[in-house]
Amino acid sequence: MNPGARLGGAALFVAAVAAAAALVHFAIVLLVPVVASHDAYARLAELGPPGATVALPRGAPGEKRFPWADPAIAASVCRFDLSAGPVRVKAPIGRAGFASISFHTRRGAVFYALTDRAAAHGWMEAVVVTPAQLRVLVAHDDEDNPTQDLRVPSPTVEGFVVMRAFSELPSLYEAASQQVQMMTCATEPPP
C-alpha cells in the first residue's frame, strides 16, 4: 500500500469517528432533559402548589437552587395544571424599567413570552389553554362581540409561568420584588 492510500484511509476513519461522536453527543444533549428527575419543574414543585405565586430568591453567588440569576432581576413563578381548565395569568407593570412573563412547558422550554410593552391598562394578561380547550373557547365565542383575551396554547398540560422585573438601582429591588409577587395564576371554569 502506498502512503497516499494510508493517509486517505486514516482521514476517512477519523472523519467517521468524529461524525459518530457528534451524533452520540447530540443524542445525549437531547435526552438529558427528558430523563432528568430533578428538572426545573421539580425544583419549583418544592416551593408551592400549582396556582400559587412564589417569589424566587434574589440572585447571589452562593445561590444553589437557582444558579446564575441576575441580582438586579426580581422574579416570581407559578406552576399551572390545565387539567381543571384554562389558567388566567395576570401580571402588573410597575416602576421597573422592564417587566416580562414567560410561559414554560413542564420540561422548561419557553413556548410564549410577553413584555411590559404588551400591557393593557397596566397589566400583562393571558389565558393559557390546551389545544382542545382553545377549540372549545373558539366555538363558544360571540362573533358580534369578540373576546379581548390573549389565548396562549400550551403544548403540555403542566407547566410554569415566570415573571421578571428589572430594578435599575439596588434601592429599587424591593419595589420590583413586590411587583412580581402580585402576579396571579387562576384556573377558570371551562365554558
Q: Which residues pair with 103 in a beta bridge?
A: 112, 161
- The strand pair at 123-129 and 151-153 is best described as parallel
* pLDDT of res. 172: 87
Q: Which residues pair with 101 in a beta bridge?
A: 114, 163
Joined grid coordinates for residue 119: 400591557
Q: What is the C-alpha to C-alpha distance for residues 106 and 34, in angstroms, rounded to an integer?
A: 10
Question: Residues in the chain, how many?
Answer: 191
Does the pLDDT of residue 34 top 70, yes or no? no
Q: What is the C-alpha to C-alpha distance for residues 97 and 38, in angstroms, rounded to an integer?
A: 33
Cβ count within 10 A of residue 11: 10
Query: Which residue in 35, 87, 43 sits closest to 64, CA to CA?
Result: 43
CA triple 99-163-189, angle to 5 deg: 120
Does the pLDDT of residue 139 top 80, yes or no? yes
* pLDDT of res. 93: 85
pLDDT-derived band at 191 (thresholds 50, 70, 90) equals low
* pLDDT of res. 8: 78
Q: What is the C-alpha to C-alpha distance for residues 178 and 132, in angstroms, rounded to an integer?
A: 35
